[in-house]
Each structure stands twice: as structure tokens, then as C-alpha cells.
Amino acid sequence: MADRTNTDVIKAWAAIPQENIENFGDEGDVTRKYLLNPAIFMALGDVRGKTILDAGCGQGYLSRLLAKREASVTGIEPAEAFYAYALHREQIEPLGITYLQADLSTWSCPPTFDYVIANMVFMDIPNYASALLNCVAALKRNGALIFSLLHPCFEEAGSEWKKKGAVEIRDYFQERPVKQNYGHFIHRPLSSYLNSVIRAGCTLHQVIEPQLEETIARQYDAERYRYVPGYILISATKSS
């Protein structure tokens, strides 16, 4: 996005109150706990002994879950407040996680990891194509890139479902920033992400549109995620 830089986005995330970071939960928020985490773990399978990069790890909840499943985990996060919290948690609850503070779009690493996971990250990065390429470069041959997004086809907020019983999409093809509580995410057509993965030398392996189980949807008044996917997870394998 010409009018928004990675530095702008990192500053916006750095402004999130500390209490929000601390209260995010050991399994993330409701949608991560019941939609994204199960999809990620299904795509991963057994991670014991595997090297995993949690790319854009935030406060480190997923890194910690992976380490508890006996993976060797590295987390990378650019925003100071999130990075500091992740480091603090590792100090008081050592799990062997290595944390790095860096911007994925400029960071580089030799082929090191069996898996790179970018959980709800690429849509927040203006220069996402470089970030994606750097994630692929960090994979061993036949390693897998797994990333999740707000579903580009159904991005409208869940609150709109409660008003209309439907999700609308307008101006789908235009790449554009969308205001959220802190900063913006960037809407891009789904084909932009899929074609970027293919151009990076990866083979698409699996696409998951997680659906919220009926009783959970009722419990959290979140029927929108029962009937229309709010998220999409893509798994691709590095072929060379």
C-alpha cells in the first residue's frame, strides 16, 4: 500500500494497551481457540521434534502451545510491547522458545524450519509479498508454509450479521486498508495470496475454511461463523 508502510502498522500495534496483551488468553481469543487453532493443529499433525517459526507471533500464545507439543519454536515479532510480553512469559515459564524482534518483510534466514506459521499476519503487512517470500526462504525443502487470514471474500464484521443475518462484500478487487480497533488490515483478493504462494515456488496442499461448532456458536452468540466463514487457512509445501 503506497499510503501505508510497515513502520506505520508496527507503531499502531505497539499502541495496544498492555492489559489487552496480557488478557488475550493462553489459547488466544474465541475465534483463535475454536476456529484457527484447531485448523492449524490439523494441518500440522504431530509436531514433536519439528522446527517451527511462528512468524508474527504477537504475544506468543501459539508459540507456547506449539512448544508444549514438543516442537522447537522460534517466534518473530516486530512490535515492542508484544515482543516484550513474549520474552517475559518465556522467562517466567521457560519452554525453550527463541524470540526475535524483526519485521518479516526485511528479515532473512537460511532454510531452517520444517514449518513456518503466519497466523493472522499477512493481511496486516503492507509489504506482505516480501514477508511471504522470506517465510518460504526460511523453510527446509519440502517444508510447509501455513498461514491464516481474515477471509477476503467475507470480511464484514460479525456485528453486521446480527443486524442483517448476512455478510456483504463490496469493492472486492480493490486492495485497500480497512480500519480496525488498532490500525488497519489490508483487504486483498484471495487470488493475490494464492498466486503469491505459487510464485514463491510452493505447491498448494490444503485450504481450510473453519466452521464454528453449533453449540459454541450459540454460547458466544457467533452464528455468523457457523454459516459463513470468517477465516481461511492455507497450507503449501516448498518444492525446492
State the residue for C-alpha cell 510480553. 85
Q: Which domains does the chain have, with CATH numbers?
A: 6-238 (3.40.50.150)
Share of the chain above pLDDT 90, in %: 85
Distance CA 44, CA 42 (A): 5
Top-confidence residue, 215 or 184: 215
pLDDT digits (tens, 9 = 90+) for 125-138: 999 999 999 999 99
pLDDT digits (tens, 9 = 90+) for 23-73: 999 999 999 999 999 999 999 999 999 999 999 999 999 999 999 999 999
In 3D space, the residue among 53, 52, 56, 62 whose CA is nearest the CA of residue 24 turns out to be 62
Distance CA 40, CA 235 (A): 9
